[in-house]
């Protein structure tokens, strides 16, 4: 019995881990990495790890053609700039093992020098937006919550705990850095819409970031926050805690002999 | 004689006093052995409860503690828990446990049933036209009941479903954002979504909110009669889900169309998913009716305006909903 | 001193004979008979904390601007109702404790009722002469569901507004009368007029609590008249004679102890575990929504049902007969209520057993009923579980659409399986009991022979 319970716990713990773990992509690295200039390194890493989907010159591959030896497919990277490259690499979203897979946050596949070399390479493909500058301390928290509710809560949940859109899982934002939040808002990774400065100004973006940062430690003045997602964990506490304790009290008070 | 009388009186008094003092009353509740330790524990528990109670008052009074919800809960809950423990201990250890027997009351009473029937029947012996009488009484009761219920109709416009069809949209009405700023067609970027309202109408009117997106002109597959509804690929739909009335707060847009799900409007309540490219048809989820589309036009100054009313009634469906059209 | 009090009471009310009878009213002793008491005590906590809340909550939809202590809402436009609930949580000392305890009490109240219902069902306590008590209990349960729904809906936060929109959608979907009914309740199309808030409020704080209290009185009064059922643990317990602990002194301290234990659990939860942090949800606006919007657990089966129904409206040509939310939101709960309410008659029909029962069955004694009950519970529970499929996707990574399809199949397959397995298991237990019984008798005979 105890064994079964233990097994259940392990499975329960392993499930999300298994679901989140990025299958280890065979990262191709040049042999003499230390001897290469950043530009050479970037080009070689790109050729080895990105070009199969994004094309050798970054112009993208719209459909895989296995007959012609083209296995991957991916959007063009010309003009996406350092903004997108930095986001996708530092969140571990890229590289993907399958082109139709949803990218998920995972440990970056490249170390810092490699990452910078790759970003520079992608940014150099064609002129594109730089890594955005953010100043959440200049944001207004209340404006942030209002803007977040209007533009983001539908998918990310109002306390940024993540959610569901048909066909994809929407990540919680507790691990996102301020710069990554700004990058995601402007580039719209995977199925997310992208919001231009006309729609969400820099000032408003700072407010949104300020708000998202507070959701890492929301005001849980009521006690244990149980995930800040509302009724589902509340129901679990009702049944697994309150009901169990009260049934135990009943069993203590009343006779337990078989009826 | 007098002495005898006195003697007898004395005897009577003696006998009476004997009877009075005599057998001590029989116990109703059986005796049990004292449990000094349990008693001591109960006393300690009660004192602990008292301490918690006092603690609650103190914590309430001290203003420098800030948010005290957790302390309040601990102290009040603790007080109750100690009292509970004390009472349960009293019940289990200190009061005498008896198990008594008793007859169940009879499940039914045939004699009384007969008598009741008889009483009712005999009481009505002076009525000669019973059926007519019953009919009249029933009619009166029904009419009065109806009269009593009728005022409930004042609660709302129950007999007119026409308000359900009303929207503030009509040809020429401008689309404005949350803060009342007018949208221009050039404001609408692809790859994102906008919430728009009818200019001059309350934002919390169910027919007002729209979700507006710009799609690639080639990707649009609107029904033929709606060809002109999407100037520059801009389409507008009611933001209220046709399933259960929540706001369509999700817009799914692929970054890389060939490998990722196509653009869709999604409701966060039951995940009804609508296709903005085909006129709001249902892709997934429980919704049974397409999302109403609002025809758009661009005025000479570039402003975004409605070109008419919705393609169908807005909001959750009701019986006969498909027979009606939205009204301005 | 005791005698003086007794005499005073008797002299002023003449109730001594009645009181004596009441004090010696017998309660059969089994832990499962206390589940109903847990519900009763949760209700008492609900009423007590609820009264406190009414002294601070202002059920008005008038618009106001927040300037309280909670920074993320600073300067946000909201209704007076929502603002007063936020202020109650932030600025009234002990206000949050009472709000949270009230909400936990609601969750526990319904949970205890469900446990009690299961006990009554699986032991056959609903049989004659207690069928009416069962029906009143069901009515109370469903009234409480509505009461709870109104409770979290009057706060006017983002989640409550979304819940109300769904309620409106379900009301509207009722064939033939839905549109009229919804307009009656909301005084026009959703979100209705400002009067709707006061309507919800009066129904929540007066009409339904009084209704529940009346039903509760009838429920308990009838139990007292019929006396409690009992298990046959010893030969002394029969259909005609009941064996039990008297109300006083045996039952009172234990029952009061349970009352305080319930209050303790609820106040501890109320102080330590956060429930419905409305300030985090923000105020409701018609055009806004949040992902993961869920009702309180006791309505989870309805959101599950609403989500499981595939996309269709019943139409004849262009005439819409039955809009989609009707199936999951209205018909499904009605079917559940109907099945539970009609079960006593169905069982009488199936077994042909029309007699009165004061002795309870153990679940294994009635394999048919136990299996049917387990299957029915599985059905409702799976629908309930499907309501949290979106959260399961977030936490466990199981695709939402795939889960929905699995549930759509499982809710019809698993109950059948459960029925077969439960019935077989009951029968095996019965057989094991019979063997055990036989063995005991043989041992007794052997012992008798040896002496």
Q: Which residue of A has its CA nearest to B187?
A: A198
Residue of B nearest to A73 (CA): B259
- Share of residues in chain A with pLDDT > 70 (%): 89
Confidence category of residue A150, pLDDT binned at 50, 70, 90: very high
Contact C26 B105 (CB under 8 A): no
Angle between helices A112-123 and A81-90 (to 10 degrees): 150
Strand B250-252 to B264-266 pairing = antiparallel
pLDDT number for residue B32: 84
| Residue of C261, C274, C395 lying closest to A223 (CB–CB) | C274
Q: What is the mean pLDDT of chain C?
A: 95
Q: Compute the nearest-CA separation of C431 from chain B (Å).
A: 31
Q: Do B252 and A196 touch (CB under 8 A)?
A: no
Q: Which residues of chain A neighbour C398 with C-beta distances below 8 Å?
A: 19
Q: Token pair for residue C380?
A: 């409702």
Residue-wise pLDDT tens digits, C172-187: 999 999 999 999 999 9
If phi over 0 gives left and psi between -120 and 50 gives alpha, with beta otherwise, what is residue C124? left
Averaged pLDDT for residues B220-237? 95
Query: Is C96's CB within 8 Å of A222's CB?
Result: yes
Q: Cβ distance B236 to B303 under 8 Å?
A: no
Q: Check A245 against C265: CB less than 8 A apart.
A: yes
| Token digits of residue B54 | 């006092």
How do residues B268-313 score in pLDDT, each as one tens digit?
999 999 999 999 999 999 999 999 999 999 999 999 999 999 999 9
Instruction: Give C239→chain B minimum CA distance, Å.
Output: 8
Round the average pLDDT of chain B to a whole number and report it: 92
Nearest CA in chain B to A163: B268
Q: Is the pLDDT of residue B62 over 70?
A: yes
**Angle CA C391–A151–A210, to nearest 5:** 90
Q: In what order do the strands lie in the sheet with C241-246?
A: B100-103, C241-246, C26-27
- With bands split at pLDDT 50, 70 and 90, how would you rate the model's confidence at A1? very low
Which of B70, B193, B253 comes nearest A191 by C-beta?
B253
ipTM value for the complex: 0.94
Coil, strand or helix at B235: strand
- Other C-beta atoms closer than 10 Å to the C-beta of B96 total 13
Interface test with B, best of A154, A194, A230 (most B CBs within 10 A): A154
Q: State the best of B246, B267, B271 to mutate against chain C, taking most chain C CBs within 10 Å.
A: B246
Identify the pLDDT of residue A64: 78
Does C31 contact A221 at a Cβ distance shorter than 8 Å? no
Of the candidates B73, B67, B299, the one whose C-alpha atom is nearest the C-alpha of residue B172 is: B299
Closest residue in chain C to residue A207, using alpha carbons only: C72
Contacts of C390 in chain A (CB under 8 A): 163-164
How many Å apart are CA C38 and CA A245, to the nearest integer?
11
Which element (helix H / strand E) includes B103?
strand B100-103
- Give CA–CA dist B206/B80, Å, rounded: 48
When CB atoms are compared, the residue of C166, C291, C318 closest to B245 is C166
- Whether C88 contacts C154, CB under 8 Å: no
DSSP chain A: -HHHHHHHHHHHHHHHHHHHPPP-------TTGGGS-HHHHHHHHHHHHTHHHH-TTS--BSS-BGGGTB---B---TTTHHHHHHHHHHTT--S-SSTTSPP-----SS-HHHHHHHHHHHHTTS----PPP--GGGS-HHHHHHHHHHHTHHHH-TTS--EEETTEEEPPSTT--HHHHHHHHHH--TT-----TTTS-HHHHHHHHHHHHHTTS---TTSB-GGG--HHHHHHHIIIIIIHHHHHHHHHHS--S--
Q: How far apart are CA A140 and CA A209, in angstroms?
A: 9
Q: What is the pLDDT of residue C20?
A: 92
Nearest CA in chain B to C189: B164
**Does residue A218 belong to the interface with chain C, where contact is any CB pair within 8 Å?**
yes
Taking CA atoms, what residue in A is nearest to B269?
Answer: A154
A10 interfacial to chain C (CB closer than 8 Å) = no
- Average pLDDT over every residue of B231-250: 96
Partnered with residue A224 across adjacent β-strands are: C273
Give the sheet arrangement for strand B175-176, strand by strand.
B175-176, B193-198, B210-214, B234-238, B293-294
Give me B323's structure tokens: 């027979």
**Residue C294: which of A144, A232, A239 has the nearest Cβ?**
A232
H or E element that contains C34: none
Residue B20, pLDDT score? 57
A12 has a pLDDT exceeding 60: no
B189 and A199 in contact by Cβ < 8 A? yes
Q: What is the DSSP string of B157-183?
A: TTT--GGGGB-S--TTPBEE-TTSPBP
Report the share of chain B in percent with pLDDT over 70: 94
Separation of alpha carbons C182 and C167, rounded Å: 9
Q: What is the pLDDT of residues C367-422, one digit of tens each?
A: 999 999 999 999 999 999 999 999 999 989 899 999 999 999 999 999 999 999 99
Q: What is the pLDDT of residues A67-115, one digit of tens each?
A: 776 778 999 999 999 999 999 999 999 998 888 889 999 999 999 999 9
Per CB-CB distance under 8 Å, the chain B contacts of A164 are 271
Which residue ranges of chain C lie beneath pLDDT 50? none
């Amino acid at each position: 019995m105890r064994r079964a319970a233990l097994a259940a716990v392990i499975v329960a713990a392993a499930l999300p881990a298994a679901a989140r773990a990025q299958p280890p992509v065979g990262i191709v690295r040049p042999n003499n990495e230390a001897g290469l200039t950043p530009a050479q390194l970037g080009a070689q890493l790109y050729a080895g790890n990105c070009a199969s989907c994004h094309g050798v010159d970054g112009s993208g591959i719209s459909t895989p053609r296995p007959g012609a030896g083209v296995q991957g497919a991916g959007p063009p990277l010309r003009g996406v700039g350092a903004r997108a490259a930095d986001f996708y690499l530092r969140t571990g979203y890229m590289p993907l093992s399958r082109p139709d897979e949803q990218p998920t946050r995972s440990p970056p596949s490249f170390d810092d020098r490699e990452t910078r070399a790759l970003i520079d390479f992608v940014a150099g493909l064609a002129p594109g937006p730089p890594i955005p500058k953010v100043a959440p301390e200049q944001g207004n928290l209340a404006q942030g919550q209002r803007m977040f509710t209007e533009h983001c809560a539908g998918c990310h949940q109002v306390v940024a705990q993540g959610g569901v859109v048909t066909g994809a899982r929407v990540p919680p934002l507790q691990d996102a850095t301020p710069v990554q939040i700004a990058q995601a808002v402007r580039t719209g990774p995977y199925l997310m819409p992208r919001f231009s400065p006309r729609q969400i100004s820099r000032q408003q973006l700072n407010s949104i970031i300020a708000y998202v940062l507070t959701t890492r430690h929301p005001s849980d003045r009521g006690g244990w926050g149980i995930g800040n997602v509302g009724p589902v964990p509340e129901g679990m506490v009702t049944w697994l805690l309150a009901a169990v304790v009260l049934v135990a009290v009943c069993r203590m008070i009343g006779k337990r002999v078989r009826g | 004689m007098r002495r005898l009388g006195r003697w007898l009186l004395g005897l009577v008094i003696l006998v009476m006093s004997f009877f009075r003092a005599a057998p001590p009353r029989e116990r109703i509740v059986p005796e049990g052995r004292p449990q000094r330790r349990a008693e001591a524990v109960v006393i300690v528990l009660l004192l602990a409860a008292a301490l918690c109670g006092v603690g609650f008052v103190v914590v309430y009074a001290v203003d420098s503690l800030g948010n005290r919800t957790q302390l309040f809960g601990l102290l009040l809950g603790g007080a109750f828990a100690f009292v509970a423990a004390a009472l349960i201990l009293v019940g289990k250890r200190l009061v005498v446990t008896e198990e008594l027997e008793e007859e169940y009351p009879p499940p039914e009473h045939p004699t009384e049933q007969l008598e009741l029937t008889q009483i009712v029947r005999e009481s009505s012996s002076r009525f000669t036209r019973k059926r007519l009488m019953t009919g009249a009484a029933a009619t009166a009761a029904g009419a009065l009941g109806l009269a009593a219920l009728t005022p409930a109709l004042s609660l709302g416009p129950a007999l007119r479903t026409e308000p359900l069809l009303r929207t503030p949209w009509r040809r020429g009405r401008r689309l404005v954002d949350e803060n009342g700023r007018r949208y221009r067609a050039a404001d609408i970027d692809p790859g994102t979504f906008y919430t728009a309202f009818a200019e001059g109408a309350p934002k919390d009117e169910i027919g007002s909110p729209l979700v507006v997106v710009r799609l690639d002109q080639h990707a649009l597959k609107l029904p033929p009669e709606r060809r002109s509804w999407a100037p520059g690929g801009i389409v507008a739909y009611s933001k209220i889900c046709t399933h259960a009335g929540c706001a369509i707060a999700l817009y799914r847009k692929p970054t890389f169309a060939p490998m990722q799900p196509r653009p869709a409007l999604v409701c966060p309540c039951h995940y009804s998913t609508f296709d903005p490219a085909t006129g709001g048809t249902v892709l997934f989820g429980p919704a049974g009716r397409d999302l109403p589309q609002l025809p758009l036009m661009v005025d000479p100054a570039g402003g975004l305006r409605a070109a008419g009313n919705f393609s169908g009634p807005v909001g959750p469906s009701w019986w006969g909903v498909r027979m009606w059209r939205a009204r301005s | 001193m005791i005698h003086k009090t007794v005499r005073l009471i008797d002299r002023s009310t003449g109730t001594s004979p009645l009181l004596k009878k009441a004090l010696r009213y017998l309660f059969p002793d089994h832990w499962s008979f206390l589940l109903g008491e847990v519900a009763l005590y949760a209700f008492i906590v609900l009423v007590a904390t609820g009264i406190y809340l009414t002294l601070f909550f202002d059920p008005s939809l008038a618009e106001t601007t927040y300037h309280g202590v909670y920074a993320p809402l600073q300067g946000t436009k909201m209704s007076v109702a929502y603002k007063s609930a936020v202020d109650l949580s932030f600025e009234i000392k002990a206000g949050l404790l009472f709000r949270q305890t009230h909400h936990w009490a609601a969750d526990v109240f319904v949970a205890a009722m469900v446990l009690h219902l299961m006990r009554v069902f699986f032991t056959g306590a609903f049989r004659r002469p207690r069928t009416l008590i069962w029906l009143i209990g069901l009515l109370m349960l469903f009234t409480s569901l509505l009461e709870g729904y109104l409770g979290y809906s009057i706060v006017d936060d983002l989640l409550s507004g979304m819940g109300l929109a769904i309620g409106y959608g379900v009301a509207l979907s009722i064939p033939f009368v839905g549109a009229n009914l919804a307009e009656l309740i909301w005084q026009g199309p959703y979100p209705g007029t400002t009067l709707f808030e006061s309507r919800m409020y009066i129904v929540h704080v007066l009409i339904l609590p009084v209704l529940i209290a009346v039903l509760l009185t009838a429920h308990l009064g009838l139990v007292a008249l019929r006396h409690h059922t009992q298990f046959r643990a010893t030969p002394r317990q029969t259909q005609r004679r009941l064996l039990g602990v008297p109300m006083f002194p045996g039952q009172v301290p234990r029952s009061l102890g349970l009352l305080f234990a319930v209050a303790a659990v609820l106040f501890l939860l109320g102080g330590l575990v956060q429930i419905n942090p409305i300030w985090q949800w923000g105020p409701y606006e018609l055009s806004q929504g949040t992902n993961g919007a869920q009702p309180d657990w006791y309505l989870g089966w309805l959101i599950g049902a609403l989500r499981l129904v595939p996309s269709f409206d019943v139409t004849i040509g262009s005439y819409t007969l039955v809009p989609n939310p009707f199936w999951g939101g209205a018909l499904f709960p009605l079917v559940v209520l109907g099945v539970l309410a009609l079960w006593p008659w169905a069982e009488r029909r199936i077994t042909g057993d029309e007699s009165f029962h004061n002795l309870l069955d153990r679940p294994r004694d009635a394999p048919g009923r136990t299996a049917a009950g387990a299957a029915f519970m599985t059905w409702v529970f799976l629908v309930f579980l499907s309501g949290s499929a979106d959260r399961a996707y977030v936490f466990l990574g199981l695709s939402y659409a795939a889960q929905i399809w699995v549930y759509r199949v499982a809710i019809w397959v698993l109950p059948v399986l459960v029925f077969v397995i439960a019935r077989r298991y009951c029968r095996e237990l019965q057989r094991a009991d019979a063997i055990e019984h036989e063995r005991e008798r043989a041992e007794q005979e052997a012992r008798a022979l040896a002496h």
